[in-house]
Structure formats: structure tokens, C-alpha cells
Structure 1
Amino acid sequence: MAFWLIAIIIAIAGTWKVYTKAGKPGWACIIPIYNLIVLLEIVGKPIWWFLLMLIPCVNIVFVIWIYNRLSKSFGQSEGFTVGLVLLNPIFMCILGFGNYTYLGPGGTPPNYGAGDYERPYDINS
């Protein structure tokens, strides 16, 4: 039981740091339902997507999609998305405690289009 408690605390700490890096309150990761709404804001998807998370089988597709957008928001590739899906607590800790910066929803920096930022890749392709 102590092992599970430690694992849960580490997972919460990693998610807390990810939320903080994205400019959202860290405590939001421990509030049920609200944590998904904040995660949708971080990845730049509409809040009504929360309703899609309630539909069986459809929610699996949308969770993977959200994790892909989360990895893109921190400048990572699809390989990191696979890690988020399969080993979520570990990869959330890597994002939270690692040297990754939040680029904006889906990897779009806030000042993109202002002419002073050059994107190394196109996330829309």
C-alpha cells in the first residue's frame, strides 16, 4: 500500500508541475472533472470536449488526441505521445520536472504571426 501511495504522490507532483508550466494553477490537477477542463485549456481544445470524454470507446480516441496535443504543446513528437498514453505518470513527471517549456496550445507560441518567431516545424501537417 505504501508503494501505491508513493506512486500516486509522484504522479500528482508531475501533473502539478505540467499545469504550473502551462500557466494554470497546479492544484487543478487534483480536482476531478476540473482537471480535464484545465487540460483542455492547456492543449487549446474547446471545453465541450469534456462531454466526448463521457462516451465509451470515443473517449479513448480523444484521450490519445489530447495527449498528442499536450506533447506538441511542450515541443515533443508523437513518440512522446505514446509514452504519455502507456506510461502516463512517468512521462508527466518527465514533462513537469524536465527542461521542457510550454510553447502554447498545441505547440503554437503566443506571439506566432507577429513576425519575431520562426517555427522549426509545422504542427498542422
Structure 2
Amino acid sequence: MNQETSFNPALGFGSGGVVVTVLTIVALWLVFAKAGYPGWAAIIPIYNVYVWLKVAGRSGWWLLLLLVPLVNLVVVIVVSLDIARAFGKSGVFGFFGLFLFSIIGYLILGFGRARYTAPGPR
């Protein structure tokens, strides 16, 4: 079998990963920009999580909670619900749109008409 007719499944998964990564960056860039934060923060590791917490109205110290197994799952759900609320969406959207299907949910927030209203102090 020659090279032109062989199929490498790893190439398909790799290119899919690139697509998912690019969509995630675009979605977070738009959400951060709507919230008044720099969009480029979406491409800086760790800083993007800090900004994500700030968009939700949470302290930067919550970043440390994300390092604790099982606690991080609860933190991500709480932050997803807070971000949904900050953009005028329901808790159902926060759980299903931003937690379970995050790329789709953040693209909806970024490209949609949802407006950001900064959460009050906690």
C-alpha cells in the first residue's frame, strides 16, 4: 500500500483538536472582550483562568481551589453559573451551555446579543 492511499486516524484527531482549541480561544476572547477584559487573555495559560474567574465576579484566590481534586469540579460549576448570570442567562444555560457544552455556550455568549453586567461584590 502506498502513502497516498493509507489512512492515519491520528491525523484526524489532531486536526480536530486544533479546531476545538481555536474555537475555544475565539469564544473566550469574545466573552472576555464583552466583559471589559483584554481578549488576548484567552491565549495566556493560567492568566486566562484568572480572567475567567474575574468575569464571574470571583476572587483570584479561587484559582487555588481549581488545583484540588473534586473541589475543582464544584468550582467550575459555580463559576459557570455565575458567568451565565452575569450575562443575563439562566442557571440551566450555565450548567448545560457553559459547563457541559462549554465551547458552544461561550460561542453563544460571544457572538450573541447577551450583555455583560458585572456581578456585585461577594
Q: Same fold (TM over 0.5)?
A: yes
Distance 1:49 1:7 in 2: 26
| Structure (1/2) with the larger helix percentage | 2
* Mapping 1:31-70, distance limit 5 Å: 31-70=44-83
RMSD: 1.1
Distance 2:107 2:15 in 1: 19
Alignment pair present for 1:4 and 2:17: yes
Gaps of 5+ in 2: 1-13
Q: What amino acid maps onto 1:2 in structure 2? A: S
Distance 2:17 2:59 in 1: 33
Provide, for residues 11-63 of structure 1, a one-character-per-residue CA deviation record: whole Å limited to 9, x for no partner: 21011000000000011111111111111111111111111111011000001
Q: Once the 2 structures are TM-superposed, how far is the Cα of residue 6 of structure 1 from its aligned partner?
A: 2.0
Q: Return structure 1 stretches of 4+ with deviation > 3 angstroms.
A: none
The count of residues paired between Structure 1 and Structure 2 equals 106
TM-score, length of structure 1 as denominator length: 0.80
Q: What amino acid maps onto 2:118 in structure 1? A: G
Q: Once the 2 structures are TM-superposed, how far is the Cα of residue 2 of structure 1 from its aligned partner?
A: 2.6
| Residue in structure 2 matching 1:20, options 30, 33, 36 | 33
Q: Once the 2 structures are TM-superposed, how far is the Cα of residue 10 of structure 1 from its aligned partner?
A: 1.5
Gaps of 5+ in 1: 109-125
Higher radius of gyration, 1 or 2: 2
Q: Report the identity percentage.
A: 42
Q: What amino acid maps onto 2:102 in structure 1? A: N
